Structure 1
Amino acid sequence: MVLMVSGGADSTALLVMACTSQLDLDDGRGAARIARERLHVLHVNHHLRGAASDADEAFVRELCARYGVPLCVEHASFTDLGGQNLEAAAREVRYAAARRYVRELCAEAGCSRASARIVTAHTASDRAETFIMNAIKGAGAAGLSSIPRRRNIIVRPLIDSTHGELCRFLEVKGIAWREDESNQDTSYLRNFVRHRVIPLMRERNANVVRNVGAACDILGDEDALLSKLAAQALRACTRRQQDGLIVLDGARLASAEVAIARRMVRLAVRQLDEGARLELRHVEAVLALVAAGAGSTTLPDGIDVRMEFGACALRTAAAREELAAGWLTVPGRMVLAASRVLEASALRVPAGTDAVALARDAARDAAADEAVAFVDAAALGYAERDLVALKEAGDGSATLARGARLWVDSPAPGDLMCPLGMHGRSKKLSDILGEEQVPVAERQLVPVLRTAPGGSVVWVGGIRLDDRFKCTALSRVLIQLTIRPLDSAVDVRSVG
């Protein structure tokens, strides 16, 4: 168990109570004495106040020596805040140090990290201040639930006590504590709330801090429930997921209650990029695309969101630099990795012509640096009656009326297909790539064409066609798929 002790009144009271009294660590046992051998203290010297910071460290060292508790001191510097404010950066440093210390202690003791606890001295006063600060900033339910009693291994046993109560506890014990003079500077939002806002609120209700704490408990419980429901809805809504890419069912997302839909968007982005900081306007922009059924937007950290053909695809900036993932319309084209382009066009098979022979001859005539495959449009659900009336071009070119399209992405674990020639028997895509001696490091660059995100594999670009979508003697409309070098590509959007 690691107690985070700065030397201020709250953390000093935490250490004294842990050594001499009982604490409720939210482990189901209620308030209980803690075995002395379990106690360890962490102090982080941020070196922000010069000699005063060193005096804080000396005070904590003396306090730990008095109670016989092992102490670990970490030193921090803040040359690059990475866009954070100083308070947030310092908090991040403290918790990172605490997690490191816990790992070290667990390794020494040979125990599970899940059994460890990081104990902080947050109080009801801190909780009320955070609630008001987040309300000023315009936070949602998660922010307004403020500081939780427990989050994973981090517990806050003093969350029901006010700062004033802990100061009085130390005074009765005759124990001094350190004061940080910067806590009086009301240019900081927390200090402004502490010294200006809350005193005004107390004039109306002396019990305001505890009332806010009760509201935080309620909001926290409701936030946890909504988050659970949103996570379940997101799993049901996810049509495709791989590194850097999540594809959601647009209809399901659009039909979700707005409170759940907002959380689904946040959870999806968090799965792609834990550090992306979304604001409400970003979430609303995504939901507006979903409601419109089309469009695109860019989220923080360069996450690209595109809504088209009923699917909402979220893609990281790094993923966009690799194999493209998205819809390929017919006719249409998509630029792939390694300076290649994937093109699609529709062909009407002339009466009396053998479609299989036509496809074989066209594939034979393809250039050496091209890969060509022909798919039966009817097998994808498109028939000859879906063809748009064409100008008499004389080359058999056609355009499909109902927006024919294929989803393009990369191989995913568990992918199966029915390779051409195996008469409907399925085979793992990973085995096919292995037989073709495609290096594992290069497999993510292999384009896989599917009926939809997460749908049946139609063609593994340049490698294998699925038997279910092959052209036959009865095929009347073919979709030609071609992969060629980008500099030799023809814009097939002009075909037909």
Structure 2
Amino acid sequence: MLERNFLEFINGNRLFGSADRVLLAVSGGLDSVVMTHLFHQIRQPFAIAHVNFGLRGDESDADAHFVQNKAREYGVPFHLTRFDTTAEADQRGISIQMAARDLRYDWFAQLVQQEGYACVATAHHQNDVLETLLLNLVRGTGLAGLHGIAVRQNTVVRPLLFVTRDELETYAREQGLHWREDRSNAEDTYARNRLRHHVVPVLESLNPGLLHTVPHTVGRLRAAETLMREELERSWQAVADRRDDRILLKADALLNLTEPDFRLAEWLKPYGFSADQSARMGQALRNQPGQIFQSATYRITHERDGLLITPLSASLAYSLTVEALPDGPVDVAGQFSLAFAVFDRPADFRPPADAATACFDADRLRWPLTVRPWQQGDRFRPLGLNGHKLVSDLLTDQKVSRPDRERTAVLLSDNQIAWVIGRRLDHRFRVTTETKRIMLVTIRS
């Protein structure tokens, strides 16, 4: 019966094809030993992979030897690796369990790619689903954390999620299978074990059919999350205004939605922002603009009309020298490029109105020219004005957002600002009726 249900679960979830080679993650414990036997019974091509984490001395070595003998017994390929898990955990500042998980799944992924396996199968079952759900609930989670364990996640499949541990043990004894017992499973060192030994029995006393009702609950939670994701995507389209590499989340549109703070937190997860940061952004939207929030890769500034998401740029501390009239566009620190052209002034010349183009009296410019970010204290004489003005004041007057302020550069001639690039020409370098030659400089993205 278990073998038939096993095959039906695999086919029903389309985990792999009957001719696919599957890599089995086998620890030597009850679950993985039964999984290996079931793969053999349904004649599915497979190989075995075992990780020796070196955490239990001779017992760990004995586990590896036991699993290797299983591979010989079934006549299938065997892969073995060993990690210094404790050293890895100490180096990364994480728990031994987390280090072990990362090490084994990274290794499995390498084997799948190198050896051409269709996927890697792990022996998680319904008890694991319940324990994972409870762990996530205790630690704090959203709907995604209440799924327990997915049947498929990238190249990892879990073909035993339909069965309980008791059912696996009954089958193993009926088939005369032998397995290794990990002594640490009987201890209360880890949170999962404490839940398994003390919490789950209480819950099962309240509902003896708990393990069979959990999959139905998880299914409903997955359906609810699907609906939630669809609504988040729909409302994102209504709120988000994409502008090249930046996104403006319009304040009015966001605050008119139900649960705006929750939506904001979900939207901003992929950009590396925490739930706490998102909550503070929601509060900021109800106050005066100006606050700044930053993740490892993005910055969000509270502007007058909403939250502006921009990628963190590479270092903007550059200074580019243009020695002479270049033949082609000049790249400016990967931010933009400038194209230069010089020609005789036509009698009917009129400067273009495009802010991305500036026209200079070529004979007033002195080579070399310099391009650099504007700096606090920079002054220039804006076109049409008699006096000087701080560049910072110009940007404030033009209501330039903080990200755009940081990207604003200046073109200098003989250490004098000739152009606040893309924003304002200096009056001293303008084209006049006395101009004989014009230099045209154009911004190209």
Q: TM-score normalised to the size of structure 1?
A: 0.59
Decide whether the 8 Å contact of 1:323 with 1:447 is kept in 2.
no
Equivalent positions of 1:157-172 (< 5 A) are 157-172=159-174
Q: In 2 relative to 1, CA 395–250 (structure 1 residues): closer, same or farther, beyond 3 Å?
A: same
Matched, 1:265 2:279: no
For 1:239-286, what per-residue CA distance to the aligned partner results, in whole angstroms no more than 9, with x for missing partners?
Answer: 2465xxx533233554554343321111233xxxxxxxx653233223
Aligned to 1:341: none
**Unaligned segments of structure 2, at least 5 residues:** 1-21, 319-331, 334-349, 352-357, 372-384, 411-418, 434-445
Decide whether the 8 Å contact of 1:234 with 1:268 is kept in 2.
no
Matched, 1:103 2:113: yes
Matched, 1:18 2:42: no
For 1:392-429, what per-residue CA distance to the aligned partner results, in whole angstroms no more than 9, with x for missing partners?
Answer: x973869789952345879xxxxxxxxxxxxxxxxxxx
1:83 to partner: Cα distance: 2.7
Decide whether the 8 Å contact of 1:371 with 1:462 is kept in 2.
no
CA distance in structure 1 between the aligned counterparts of 2:204 and 2:210, rounded to whole angstroms = 6
CA distance in structure 2 between the aligned counterparts of 1:14 and 1:265, rounded to whole angstroms = 40
Matched, 1:4 2:4: no
**Unaligned segments of structure 1, at least 5 residues:** 21-32, 107-112, 270-277, 325-336, 339-354, 373-392, 411-444, 449-458, 474-496
Report the residue type matching 1:264 in the other structure.
Answer: W
CA distance in structure 1 between the aligned counterparts of 2:74 and 2:432, rounded to whole angstroms = 85
Decide whether the 8 Å contact of 1:47 with 1:75 is kept in 2.
yes
Report the residue type matching 1:18 in the other structure.
Answer: F
Matched, 1:404 2:404: no
Match of 2:232 among 212, 230, 234: 230
% of aligned pairs identical?
A: 26
Decide whether the 8 Å contact of 2:265 with 2:274 is kept in 1.
no
> Matched residue pairs, number?
345
CA distance in structure 1 between the aligned counterparts of 2:193 and 2:214, rounded to whole angstroms = 18
Aligned to 2:347: none
Equivalent positions of 1:57-456 (< 5 A) are 57-78=64-85, 79-81=87-89, 82-106=92-116, 116-231=118-233, 234=236, 237=240, 239-240=242-243, 242=245, 246-251=246-251, 252-257=253-258, 258=260, 259-269=262-272, 279-292=274-287, 293-299=289-295, 301=296, 304-314=299-309, 319=313, 321-322=315-316, 395=387, 404-406=398-400
For 1:31-61, what per-residue CA distance to the aligned partner results, in whole angstroms no more than 9, with x for missing partners?
Answer: xx453xx311111111111111111111111
Does the residue aligned with 1:405 lie in a helix, a strand or coil?
coil
CA distance in structure 1 between the aligned counterparts of 2:201 and 2:123, rounded to whole angstroms = 22
CA distance in structure 2 between the aligned counterparts of 1:288 and 1:463, rounded to whole angstroms = 33
Q: In 2 relative to 1, CA 160–241 (structure 1 residues): closer, same or farther, beyond 3 Å?
A: farther
Decide whether the 8 Å contact of 1:230 with 1:261 is kept in 2.
no
1:99 to partner: Cα distance: 0.7
Does the residue aligned with 1:69 lie in a helix, a strand or coil?
coil
Q: TM-score normalised to the size of structure 2?
A: 0.65
Decide whether the 8 Å contact of 1:229 with 1:260 is kept in 2.
no
CA distance in structure 1 between the aligned counterparts of 2:138 and 2:153, rounded to whole angstroms = 24
Report the residue type matching 1:297 in the other structure.
Answer: F
Aligned to 2:416: none
Q: In 2 relative to 1, CA 119–460 (structure 1 residues): closer, same or farther, beyond 3 Å?
A: farther
Does the residue aligned with 1:55 lie in a helix, a strand or coil?
helix
1:313 to partner: Cα distance: 3.9
CA distance in structure 2 between the aligned counterparts of 1:210 and 1:74, rounded to whole angstroms = 36
1:121 to partner: Cα distance: 0.8
CA distance in structure 2 between the aligned counterparts of 1:394 and 1:91, rounded to whole angstroms = 68
For 1:77-135, what per-residue CA distance to the aligned partner results, in whole angstroms no more than 9, with x for missing partners?
Answer: 221321321111111111111111110122xxxxxx8xx22211111100100111111
Q: In 2 relative to 1, CA 298–406 (structure 1 residues): closer, same or farther, beyond 3 Å?
A: closer
Decide whether the 8 Å contact of 1:64 with 1:70 is kept in 2.
yes
